[in-house]
Chain A
Amino acid sequence: MYYFDELIIAEIRKKNEVALQELYKTHYPMIVHLICSNNGTEQEAKDIYQDAMIAFYERAQQPDFVLTCKIKTYIYAVSWRLWLKRLTHKKRYHGSFEVAESFLRVEEEMRSIEEMELDYDRMNEAMNGLGEPCQSIIRDFYVKGNSMEEISAKYNYTNADNAKNQKYKCLQRLKKLFFDGRQED
């Protein structure tokens, strides 16, 4: 239905960085206009827009994601909702969230986006609480996909098994930090 948009999503799923950056540049003026004409500054527009873009990027990676509207509509609607939320926080907006013109599944989208947001914030805290070198070891292994041998060399462990034990300890601490944070909520 949205031929070009499907193409863009396909590129983003392939983690095509240029596609993401081009998409960012394409819609940035729209969101600046939206936020600035609704009591916001350009800096706030940038924050909101980046959050919306990240949400879009992450949602696009998930296998169950289906594009039910144009990407532009999606980003516009999500940015608008994020902005209303922020205005509510600033106690400047007391209206209800009726956004009749946005796409149908925006409610569901906002829920998944907020869930991801919660996970992200908690992980941020857990990672910060973890300290070094644990943080870097976990990142190198799970995010960058380095092997235990590479990590052992990088952090001067005598062998890969020592590094693995260290990673194991780090992981247990991270788990405690992350899930205990969750239980307190």
Chain B
Amino acid sequence: MDARKINMRLSVEEIDQLDRYAKGTSDQKEIAAVEDRMNSDASYRQLAKEHLALIQVVVRHGERMRVRQLLEAAHREVNAEPALAEAGTAAGSQASMISSSARQTNQKQSRRFEVGYWKLSGIAASVALISVVATFIITRSLKNEQSANYKELRRNVEQIKRSQKLMMDDIAEQKVAPAPANYAGTSFMISSNGYLTTSYHVVRESDSIFVENEAFGNLKAKVVYQDRENDIALLKIPGFVLEKSSLPYAISKKESSLAEDVFTLGYPKEDVVFGAGSISAMTGYKGNPIAYQISVPVNPGNSGGPLFNNRGDLVGIISGQQTQSSGTAFAIKSTILLASIDQAPDSIKTLIRPSRVSSQKIPSRVDQVNEWRKYVFMVRVYKEQ
């Protein structure tokens, strides 16, 4: 290696020759000469290969800078068309895509009319068509895949009512509690002045929302903040103030540990249901870093419910379960909840005051659950059909 560095260097002519060889502008004789020499002269071969590799990277580097500019230009167009910003709005965005490519073609046309306008616009049109068809097919298949494995746990009341009715027909006496709501989930208090948290997917598309539990009865609530990305929503019960100045549990600021004992309270039926288990993985569905995987039995209706640790601190929000394997559920981490609250508008953020410290002594699980359940509510979501 050192010998090469000191003695060997390609001459200006040799480099010229190699440049022509790399560009493909050499004639047959020159190609043969270069290749012959590479085969016979080992030190030349090494230097030549080094040079060819170097200019290959130079070319790629230049190409990449050009491509990045192209993508930046495309990006500016994306931003100019807000219709494209929303994922999965199929028809509308594709119509605008066609028009934008037509616009682009117009620009190109004026720039290089002499190159051949017809050829260019033909390519653009066919490409737009290809991408339109390709996206359509692909989005559909992708959607199927997602819904096949991951199930959000809001309860479709109609469905459950029907199956319940079948059961109840056998037990003639018992009456099914009328449940006119469209969807139901769970919610819990995070601030003594009437702020609650639940899953975004529980309250999306809602017209009116009621929360209910044994301690406080049926109360009307409204959605004050939605964080679709993290599947978090904040509700407020107007005019509600807790007698105590603070809640008995705090929102955990650090992530839980693997195997930590956790429990949840939720409303998969009209009565509160307790479920316990542990943190079984530090990531959620498909390795999603914002959620835990938990081995807590959950059912439709548990969505939006709190996940507490042994001390009773809130560590997560139940969000969904994997459909293929039983006993695998997911909960959004409390750290994500805190970050999400932090993103909320100031008018809401400043009013939310979760307890800073958890309760001093750890009560027995039974006492704890009996106290904690006061702050867990069933959510009923109504919407216009």
Contacts and interface: CB of A to CB of B under 8 A. Distances in A.
B87 A25 contact: no
A54 B124 contact: no
A4 B130 contact: yes
B282 to A, nearest CB: 6
A29 B86 contact: yes
A11 B127 contact: yes
B70 interface: yes
Given A11-B123, A94-B289, A120-B57, 15 more contacts: A7-B130, A8-B131, A32-B85, A38-B288, A39-B336, A70-B134, A95-B287, A97-B287, A123-B60, A139-B62, A143-B61, A143-B62, A143-B66, A145-B23, A178-B57
B70 A26 contact: no
Best-buried of A36, A72, A73 by chain B (most CB within 10 Å): A72
Range for the number of chain B residues in contact with chain A: 35 or more
Contacts of A116: 60
B229 interface: yes
Interface residues of A, number: 72
B75 A46 contact: yes
Contacts of B159: none
Contact of A57 (B12, B67, B87, B88): B67
Interface of A: 4-5, 7-8, 11, 16-30, 32-33, 36-39, 46, 50, 53-54, 57-58, 61, 70-73, 84, 87, 92-101, 116, 119-120, 122-124, 127, 138-139, 141-145, 164-165, 168, 171-172, 174-175, 178-179
A81 to B, nearest CB: 11
Contacts of A100: 286
Interface stretch (B98-106, B181-189, B349-357): B98-106
24 contacts: A7-B130, A18-B101, A21-B71, A21-B73, A22-B97, A22-B101, A22-B127, A24-B71, A26-B131, A29-B87, A36-B229, A37-B228, A39-B290, A58-B64, A84-B287, A95-B289, A96-B287, A116-B60, A124-B61, A141-B19, A145-B23, A164-B12, A164-B16, A165-B12
B74 interface: yes
Contacts of B228: 37
Contacts, number: 179
B64 A143 contact: no
Contacts of B62: 139, 142-144
B123 A19 contact: yes
Contacts of A92: 289
Contacts of A58: 60, 63-64
Nearest to A148: B16
Best-buried of B50, B142, B282 by chain A (most CB within 10 Å): B142
A101 to B, nearest CB: 7
Contact of A95 (B70, B72, B100, B283): B283
Nearest to B290: A39
Interface string B73-85: 1110110000011
Contact of B85 (A29, A70, A175): A29
A164 B70 CA distance: 31
Given A25-B78, A28-B78, A57-B67, A179 B50 contact: yes
